[in-house]
A and B are shown apart, each in its own frame.
Chain A
């Protein structure tokens, strides 16, 4: 589904990603952990097509296609979704109208007719119920005045509406209270199937208790310095990142 080879990326002359290799297959859940500033959000922005980064080396393939030249919206139309670490507030655009536009533009991008308004509304109601969100969010401006946790929940609501093939969840757990974490994680699990994949970026094991990863990677200094199974996350939780420095990288 996603194949990243030797990816180097820089911004403002500073190299942030220094040779990332990552392959995610359909049906898999991968987790990326790593210290602050190691390049996790940069990696997700680059995969999603943010144009501020300059890619100096390497390649990104998604669904068997080289997506390096594609715009963010084209990647989204292919089924790529990024749940932002810091969702953006957009006053003046309601959640409902935003989603309606996003879904119909995505459908248009795939050569489909717009979704009938009735179906859209029904789907919104269902997904809101799944994520235990209040209906009043539908008429509010996107993320405007939302609490930290509400923003994250709203990201997953959008994911549920858009049904992506690959969802990158950048610290979706931060800001969520314990109950919200459970609701959001179970929402994510309900969206999983053998045809899609999830890349979870997190600092904490607690999310991985709910969304169990097939693989865990440690990103440090712009490189993946270690990969392993879910036990690696547990090990990190108890030992921190420092112990990796003393171990030879793989």
Chain B
């Protein structure tokens, strides 16, 4: 770990020298103080309460390339399957951290769907106003991302606009001779009463190890409606540390779906700040894991303002030696009266060697609130299994159907047809069956 940390610290100097004029912009001050934070704190270890169950050491013991060369040989038809649609979506696509314009479909017409790097050049006022104001700068991995922040997705929707199609953000990494470390940085600002749907994916196409340390900031202004889907089905050699922070103003609704089906290690840090009345946050997660996969969902919902609502439902299915962690914190601030906070985490363990550590944490400092939480760990219902098999549904398919059924509560409300089809296929493939789940 220390070796890679040192490499990152010295890489920062190289990186800084590549920035040219950007070095004098206010955003760079953020990078500077962020690298100091990272230098002081370093990578989190299992001694850190928030990282008790997920050990990053094996991951960062390895060496990774921090600088990459751009790769231009990928063609759309070879990676078509990772997209929802060929033509009916906006696309912001990166390969090894570089923007891939020929695979992308951006816009500046009624709203901006483009890259963070171009925003740094062209929309400095927006960057200065929002970038780094939502993320948790004191967190060492967020700080690490901030210090190298230059590329990622930039979505800016002015007031009163409904984005006419889903926005797909995909980060590819390709085979090099070395392991790859990338740090995408996304900023999403959705104006008053505006609406947009986003789908994000990280996909390693090579055989080497990949680690993405991704940071996303989302601001939903008054009355905005945002749906954000994270599809995590990466290759067995790919790991993801995702830190997404959402700030919600009055009467906004943000729904965030996390679908974790693949990857070696996935850590989701998801944090919501409900800062004005009427904000509603929905957090839905589905993890279906096998082999030695690990998904660690750390969520925090900060009810800062009164009259806000949060609904959180995470479902996990763990096979083989797969491991899950769920740590859900609901923090109701003093004065945040009439808070409505619901949290539930349900898990199925299919083997004796699979495991889940689940911990709800309620910190409530207001008295007129409605909060509920619960967690369950169980197995597949044998009676239901026999019932399905008696009707001619083979064992594996019957299991798959029951597992799918177990997750459906957390799938409700999906609106994008192509996404539903994609998820149906992903779940079927994950469960090695060929059936229609009627999603």
Contacts and interface: CB of A to CB of B under 8 A. Distances in A.
B391 A162 contact: yes
B401 A88 contact: no
Interface string A79-119: 00110100110111110111011110110010000000000
B387 A84 contact: yes
Contacts of A135: none
B404 interface: yes
Contacts of A82: 390
B390 A72 contact: yes
A33 interface: no
A76 B391 contact: yes
Most chain B CB neighbours (cut-off 10 Å) among A72, A88, A97, A106: A72
A105 B390 contact: no
Contacts of A50: 386
Interface residues of B, number: 28
A102 B383 CA distance: 16
A61 interface: no
Given A92-B408, A97-B438, A105-B397, A162 B402 contact: no
Nearest to B400: A101
Interface string A45-80: 100111010000000000000000001110011000
A72 B436 contact: no
A72 B393 CA distance: 9
Contact of B391 (A45, A91, A92, A158): A158
B405 A109 contact: no
Contact of A73 (B382, B394, B404, B435): B394
A92 B387 contact: no
B381 A71 contact: no
Contacts of B405: 90-93, 141
A93 B401 contact: yes
Contacts of B406: 92
Contacts of A105: 392-394, 397
Ranked nearest first, the 5 interchain pairs of A and B with the lowest CB-CB distance are A92-B405, A106-B392, A97-B438, A76-B392, A72-B389
Interface of B: 381-384, 386-395, 397-398, 401-402, 404-409, 435-438
Given A82-B390, A92-B407, 10 more contacts: A73-B394, A77-B392, A84-B387, A88-B383, A92-B408, A92-B409, A93-B404, A93-B405, A97-B437, A106-B392
Interface of A: 45, 48-50, 52, 71-73, 76-77, 81-82, 84, 87-88, 90-94, 96-98, 100-103, 105-106, 109, 141, 158, 162
